[in-house]
Structure 1
């Protein structure tokens, strides 16, 4: 474990998703943090969840979501970088790691219309990858960096074992988002300092801090946030 300068607001995290009881096993999920250089410094792509969502309604978040069965077999233009494979292999199988990376790319396309991809012949496939492949693209996994992991505390309405990936916007096939699926009612490139000031969940604020640190020091240890015996714990893995 290695200490870092990025704090985590445990009290805010509990307020974001109060305990409602019940026992749920965390579901695999993946998130993609897209970054670019703006006029006043680094910017990140974020979206505001529409009101009425059971989980994190009206909060600003990164695009992402649950892994789908189709993610385990979806085609890609290339593989994850070897360093990211090594990090993920300490936790899960390579097949599951690849599926999580693909889920992050797919969910980002569904929610924002952005393609972290390389051009490819159009293909007709069934399931959640249908629209992605129909526009003539294959996911660009080589552009991804694995930067954080977090498990939702027990007793919440939704629980996820989420992996956070980061990529530079230069790998996108086009630079600006569209309306996407409508799950996010506003999508914007936000300067890093402004992003931390809007209404974001505690874990998102923590990961924004991690992004800022990582842009300056790409090889910093990877944080793993979870609750153990009623207390938040952050491990930092080299």
Structure 2
């Protein structure tokens, strides 16, 4: 039991995580929502990032109004914790860090960390999430994650996409900015890579044969595509 407790407290263990790249279309081109992590954060301090975070144990049991598309589910289910938990975590983290809900009208018995979402009369909707990238944090970092990145259209958000009044304090300076300008911010390396991939997808330059995966789980970093 003591060994299990120590493993649970090990901040450097690889934890599953989910991140949302929320986009909106403007006449001048697409815009992306980003925020800045605090200077005292253990992971990526003072960097601009997308909303996201670790999967919680209860996320797999959250009743989703709709699941991701079948192709997306298949890719997510190739590894733990599976499509349902990852999609729920993505929606929860977006809600917590920005106050923006991806949901459909519905009543359900929500756990404490979802109560604010349910109080809006909404049930989480994962049908608009598109799995576009996966990356495992390299060794030596104070936190390590096996992160899945989801692309989502801001039109799927219920309510005002400029209203961040319901956001927690994990991200500051939440704002929309042109996708073409986002890479000028102080970004983590992997965020730059993901932005480049999203830009290629939107231009139609990606061949779409699979989801890019930067795998740093072993001693030698590898790159492959998930079919």
Give the structure-2-normalised TM-score.
0.87
Alignment of 1:42-191 (within 5 A): 42-92=30-80, 96-121=82-107, 123=108, 125-174=110-159, 175-179=161-165, 180-191=167-178
> How far did residue 34 of structure 1 move?
0.7
2:211 to 204, 207, 222: 222
2:121 & 2:218 partners in 1: Cα distance? 48
Name the residue aligned to 1:24. 12
1:194 to 181, 197, 208: 181
Unaligned segments of structure 1, at least 5 residues: 1-21
CA separation of 1:182/1:228 partners in 2, compared to 1, >3 Å: closer, same or farther? closer
2:13–2:143 CA contact under 8 A, matched in 1 = no
2:103 & 2:144 partners in 1: Cα distance? 29
1:24 & 1:56 partners in 2: Cα distance? 14
Tell me the matched-pair count: 214
**Considering only aligned residues, what root-mean-square deviation do their CA atoms show, in Å?**
1.9
2:91 & 2:218 partners in 1: Cα distance? 34
> How far did residue 126 of structure 1 move?
2.9
Off by >4 Å, runs of 4+ in structure 1: 228-231
Cα deviation per residue 1:13-69 (whole Å; 9 max; x = unaligned)?
A: xxxxxxxxx993200110011111123201111111122111111110000001112
1:23 & 1:49 partners in 2: Cα distance? 18
Of structures 1 and 2, the one with the larger relative CO (CA 8 A, separation 6+) is 1
1:97 & 1:133 partners in 2: Cα distance? 21
